[in-house]
């Protein structure tokens, strides 16, 4: 039985709106800590409503006022709230020398250190400390503690932007150097599924930085771009469900169309993105992604789709059209390898994952470079292709193929704030809140 961990950042604080460095300042003096604004309290209540029907077995919060207050407001909305535990393991990053300073003043007074903080966090140093490296060690130690203690449970963690990112990065293997390349907006929700008592036993990022429950406040179902954003935004969508997804029959490059539920998922994705500016669109030429893209673009009728063969699903070769028990009978042991060591599997008369990685890397860069700064592009493809794209953002190899979940009709948001040649930022991953009640991905977990 897997352990589900739900991670939430605190609501907006007075320091957030003043653009002040918060860190863990005045940890021992709550009266001097940053506190939630009225908007922050409202965000926390909305996060609570989004989680209201989820059975939470254990809850932890940072002892800092803004996080504790957020956690209490979230749990107040839950039908059966657990007792809240506070732990120093969820304290925010230690930026003592900068705390309470305006961000712009830090940038002006400490330009070299600020540059390292933003661009080479693994080398960032204050005094005799390496704050980001220390934060990752803090996160790893916390995982070692709670995964052993609460196996098979659903755990709520309410923390801060920095510690939340360190928790997610350390769990799925994102290096310290890319710490800034995932985001955590105020009261956004992320979900991780752990297979065992250690992060090395296997982990899946089900969703990252979900913010659609905050739309009434923010005006958008998607996280905002960062300040000084000068590049494109890409909306990566997996096609809606097919009957073979539901049956867990391997499709690969057999052109299986959407089923009725898949068409409904495409319509809901269309409604979800109706008010989002879309300037360009790209798709695999296969029926299931193309029809999903056309449904989304029905709300953006001026946009034409560009089709790329390189976005086609992985070729499963002789596995295509077969159920798992048929594959096991004909290719004994290969399915188990596909689940545990996917990088080692050569599909008979089909592809291996490295071949998918190679073709996807080329077409993805081509797409990103074709989207002008400030514009947003829709890209609709398949499970394996989307997983490869997400992995490539962080330099992951086919060995890490199973880390990112991609639900039918799910939406991921990828920004290039410095343009196509700069580092990408995964703003949000596998948003499926438009497809079912609650924050969990309940789409079909069928074969690719």
User: Which one from 239, 316, 382, 434 is the annotated catalytic residue?
Assistant: 239
8 A C-beta contact, residue 283 and residue 381: yes
Percent helix, strand and coil across the chain, each to the nearest 5: 40, 20, 40
Q: Where are the alpha helices (DSSP H) in 20-130?
A: 38-50, 65-76, 103-109, 111-119
Distance, in Å, from the CA atom of 342 to the CA atom of 399, rounded to the nearest integer, reads 6
- The 8-class DSSP code of residue 411 comes to E
Catalytic residue status for 239:
yes
What is the distance between the alpha carbons of residues 238 and 431, in angstroms, rounded to a whole number? Answer: 11
Contact between residue 239 and residue 306 where contact means Cβ atoms under 8 Å apart: no
The strand pairing partners of 8, in sequence order, are 158, 189
Segment holding 430, helix H or strand E = strand 425-431
Q: What is the Cα–Cα distance from 347 to 87, expressed in whole angstroms?
A: 47
CB 404 within 8 A of CB 390: yes
Active-site choice (92, 206, 313, 351)? 313
**10 belongs to the catalytic site:** no
Q: Is 442 exposed, middle or buried (0-12, 13-18, 19+ CB in 10 A)?
A: exposed
Residues 6 or more apart whose CB falls under 8 angstroms from that of 355 comprise none
Active site residues: 239, 313
């Amino acid at each position: 039985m897997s352990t589900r961990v739900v991670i939430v950042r605190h609501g907006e604080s007075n320091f957030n709106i003043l653009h002040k460095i918060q860190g863990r300042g005045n940890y021992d003096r709550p009266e001097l800590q940053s506190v939630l604004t009225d908007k922050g309290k409202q965000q926390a209540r909305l996060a609570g409503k989004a989680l209201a029907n989820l059975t939470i077995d254990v809850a932890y919060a940072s002892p800092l006022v803004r996080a504790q207050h957020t956690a209490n407001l979230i749990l107040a909305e839950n039908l059966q709230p657990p007792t809240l535990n506070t732990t120093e393991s969820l304290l925010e990053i230690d930026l003592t020398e900068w705390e309470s300073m305006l961000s712009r003043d830090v940038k002006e007074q400490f330009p070299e250190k600020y540059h390292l903080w933003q661009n080479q966090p693994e080398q960032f140093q204050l005094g005799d400390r390496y704050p980001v490296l220390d934060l990752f060690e803090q996160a790893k130690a916390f995982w070692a503690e709670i995964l052993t203690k609460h196996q098979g449970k659903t755990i709520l963690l309410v923390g801060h932007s920095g510690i939340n990112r360190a928790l997610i990065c350390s769990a799925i293997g994102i290096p310290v150097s890319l710490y800034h390349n995932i985001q955590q907006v105020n009261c956004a929700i992320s979900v991780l599924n752990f297979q065992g008592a250690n992060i090395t036993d296997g982990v899946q990022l089900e969703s990252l930085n979900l913010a659609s429950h905050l739309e009434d406040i923010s005006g958008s179902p998607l996280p905002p771009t960062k300040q000084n954003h000068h590049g494109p935004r890409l909306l990566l969508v997996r096609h809606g469900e097919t009957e073979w997804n539901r049956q867990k029959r391997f499709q690969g490059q057999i052109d299986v169309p959407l089923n009725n539920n898949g068409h409904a998922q495409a319509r809901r994705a269309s409604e979800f993105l109706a008010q989002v500016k879309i300037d360009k669109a790209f798709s695999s030429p296969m029926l299931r992604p193309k029809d999903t893209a056309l449904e989304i673009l029905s709300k953006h009728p001026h946009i034409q789709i560009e089709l790329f063969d390189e976005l086609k699903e992985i070729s499963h070769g002789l596995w295509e059209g077969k159920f798992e028990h048929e594959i096991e009978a004909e290719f004994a042991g290969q399915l188990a390898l596909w689940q545990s060591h996917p990088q080692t599997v050569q599909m008979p008369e089909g592809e291996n994952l490295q071949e998918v990685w190679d073709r996807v890397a080329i077409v993805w860069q081509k797409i990103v470079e074709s989207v002008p700064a400030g514009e947003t592009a829709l890209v609709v493809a398949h499970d394996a292709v989307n997983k490869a794209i997400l992995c490539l953002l962080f330099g992951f190899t086919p060995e890490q193929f199973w880390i990112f979940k991609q639900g039918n009709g799910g939406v991921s948001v990828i920004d290039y704030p410095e343009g196509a040649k700069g580092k990408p930022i995964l703003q949000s991953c596998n948003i499926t809140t438009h497809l079912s009640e609650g924050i969990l991905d309940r789409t079909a977990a069928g074969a690719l």
